[in-house]
């Protein structure tokens, strides 16, 4: 999985590097700076991996890098938000699913670790995952608002009927809610039925790779 992560990262960096060169040649400085920033953000986890206090599984890193690439590079630089009406909705639905899974895993790891005195029912774990996903989704909307105001992007597109972009924000939060609810429901049923082989393996790997977080 580590090799796959590096391969994906290399391909994405090459694609963005080509776009960066084209923007520089066309003297589109703001867009060039924006693309350079995206390249730095997607490359940072791999560059500073050994300096991080927590070792993040490669699977999560790959998903995070692909999401940033799809949102900022394809969505903003390549205008996928305007080309394809379903692009924004798809990304937000996917982010709701992924963030729900992340919240579910965080609580599950703490709940299963013998060094942490924490015991929660499946329903509470699912509820935490749901609100965790919604909270991060709301923060992302704040980020989009800031990007539009500071850098002049169009992450919250305005329309003739809604020049403020509020409708887009509410639609995004709705699909975030749907994605988070789906993951939380399946996570609750998963724990309630005690079919936890894969989750147990994932949690054990995370704990073994980060012993400083869970004791000696």
The interaxial angle of helices 87-112 and 58-68, nearest 10 deg, is 160
CA distances from 50 to 8, 60, 73, 205, 210 (A): 19, 16, 27, 17, 12
Ramachandran assignment for 33, one of left (phi > 0), alpha (psi -120 to 50 degrees), beta (any other) = alpha
pLDDT digits (tens, 9 = 90+) for 4-16: 778 889 999 999 9
pLDDT digits (tens, 9 = 90+) for 118-160: 566 778 878 888 998 899 989 989 988 888 888 777 777 777 6
For residues 95 and 134, what is the distance between their CA atoms, to the nearest angstrom? 10
Q: Which residues of the chain register pLDDT less than 70?
A: 1, 49-50, 52-57, 108, 110-120, 160, 193-216
Q: What is the pLDDT of residue 50?
A: 67
For residues 169 and 157, what is the distance between their CA atoms, to the nearest angstrom? 9
pTM of the model: 0.72
């Amino acid at each position: 999985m580590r090799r796959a992560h590096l391969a994906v990262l290399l391909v994405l960096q090459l694609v963005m590097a080509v776009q960066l060169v084209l923007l520089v040649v066309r003297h589109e400085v703001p867009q060039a700076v924006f693309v350079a920033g995206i390249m730095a953000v997607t490359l940072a986890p791999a560059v500073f991996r050994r300096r991080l206090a927590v070792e993040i599984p490669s699977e999560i890193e790959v998903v995070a890098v692909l999401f940033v690439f799809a949102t900022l590079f394809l969505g903003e630089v390549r205008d996928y938000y305007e080309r394809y009406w379903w692009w924004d909705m798809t990304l937000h639905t996917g982010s709701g699913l992924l963030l729900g899974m992340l919240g579910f895993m965080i609580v599950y790891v703490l709940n299963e670790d013998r060094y942490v005195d924490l015991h929660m029912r499946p329903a509470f774990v699912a509820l935490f995952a749901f609100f965790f996903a919604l909270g991060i989704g709301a923060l992302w909307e704040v980020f989009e608002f800031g990007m539009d105001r500071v850098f002049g992007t169009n992450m919250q597109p305005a329309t003739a009927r809604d020049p403020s972009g509020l409708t887009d924000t509410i639609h995004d939060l709705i699909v975030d809610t749907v994605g988070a609810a789906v993951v939380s429901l399946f996570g609750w049923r998963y724990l309630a039925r005690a079919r936890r082989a894969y989750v147990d393996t994932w949690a054990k790997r995370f704990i073994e790779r980060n012993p400083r977080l869970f004791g000696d």
